[in-house]
Amino acid sequence: MRPIELSIGAESTIYKVERWGKEFALKWRHKKPYLHPEIDRQLRTARTTRECRMLNFARLNGITTPTIHAVDLTENTIMMDYIKGEQLKQLVPVISSKRLRSLCFDFGRTLAKLHNSNVVHGDPTTSNFIVDSHDDLWVLDFGLAEWNATAEMKGVDLHLVRRVLETTHWDVQEAMLEATLKGYVSTIGDEAEHILSRMEEIRERGRYH
Ligand SMILES: Nc1ncnc2c1ncn2[C@@H]1O[C@H](COP(=O)(O)OP(=O)(O)OP(=O)(O)O)[C@@H](O)[C@H]1O
Ligand SMILES: [Mg+2]
């Protein structure tokens, strides 16, 4: 099977490839012509390394992420399991409001699990979450994730979620946010109030500066 392009982003191209009779996703962080070549190389390698470590760390902490099978830090590629499913982003406009609420509850719970292991995702968009045929959520795209997350950093992650809902899913944003935060609070534990107030503060700061 020839590689099939699954996605061409600003940072990377994702291919579906077949090896050993199985399907894999190959993420390739390609060169960016507008950056200084050395800075570009360092950035791509740093993000590839970070993504691999974070994907593994998250999985060890019970978050469903694709398993990595090979990494090449010269080409900046990661070969991982291909997750058969749909981006949460694609499903939002076509599913029932009941299913949407349930997926958002899970979206929030998954973020909370990640935060409970003191990791923030850094780019929690609905295209970075894949829904499989069992309605389980898979988390992708850990190139901007960070360890040792503080309540402030977790608040920023939630603020980013709210921004994504406002811009990408504006017509159902209230229902999505409510269900997502419900799921988040159900799992985050004692820190919930503190993190949610950080999220509000960050929004206010953004409004007046
Ligand atoms: N392991 C995988 N299995 C299935 N699909 C995948 C996999 N990895 C990536 N994809 C698909 O490719 C898309 C882009 O992947 P990813 O988010 O990792 O790269 P990206 O370059 O950061 O993209 P963007 O800039 O759009 O965030 C995902 O939204 C998903 O649809
Ligand atoms: Mg992405």
- Phi, psi angle pair for 180, to nearest 5°: -65, -45
CATH 1.10.510.10 in the chain is located at 86-208
Residue 207's pLDDT band (boundaries 50, 70, 90)?
confident
Which has the minimum average pLDDT: 1-15, 37-51, 82-96, 173-187? Answer: 1-15
Please give the distance, rounded to the nearest whole angstrom, from the Cα atom of residue 118 to the centre of ligand 2: 21
Instruction: For ligand 1, say whether the CB of 140 is within 6 Å of any of its atoms.
Output: yes
Query: How far from each other are the two terminal CA atoms of the chain, in whole angstroms?
Result: 52
What confidence score (pLDDT) does residue 206 get? 81
For the sheet containing 4-8, what is the strand order?
Answer: 4-8, 12-19, 22-29, 77-81, 68-72
Nearest ligand to residue 6 Cα:
1
Residue 188's pLDDT band (boundaries 50, 70, 90)?
very high
Residue 208 has pLDDT above 80, yes or no: no
pTM, full prediction: 0.95
CATH 3.30.200.20 in the chain is located at 4-81
Please give the distance, rounded to the nearest whole angstrom, from the Cα atom of residue 167 to the centre of ligand 2: 16
In the annotation, is 135 catalytic? no
Alpha helices in 13-96 (DSSP H): 37-60, 88-91
Domain 4-81 has CATH 3.40.50.720: no
Instruction: For ligand 1, say whether the CB of 155 is within 6 Å of any of its atoms.
Output: no
Q: How far is CA 1 from CA 15, 20, 90, 96, 178, in A?
A: 12, 11, 26, 36, 43
Distance CA 2, CA 29 (A): 19
Contact 162, 143 (CB under 8 A): no
Task: Provide the phi-psi class of 7: left if phi over 0, else alpha when psi is between -120 and 50, else beta.
Answer: beta
- Choosing from 72, 81, 106, 123, which is the catalytic residue? 123
Residue 209's pLDDT band (boundaries 50, 70, 90)?
low
Instruction: For ligand 1, say whether the CB of 65 is within 6 Å of any of its atoms.
Output: no
86-208 CATH fold: Transferase(Phosphotransferase); domain 1 (1.10.510)
Test site for ligand 1: of 5, 8, 11, 14, most ligand atoms within 8 A of the Cβ: 14
Please give the distance, rounded to the nearest whole angstrom, from the Cα atom of residue 190 to the centre of ligand 2: 30
What confidence score (pLDDT) does residue 9 get? 87
* Cα-based torsion angle of the residue sequence 46, 141, 177, 90 in order, rounded to the nearest 10 degrees: 150
What confidence score (pLDDT) does residue 10 get? 84
Please give the distance, rounded to the nearest whole angstrom, from the Cα atom of residue 201 to the centre of ligand 1: 31
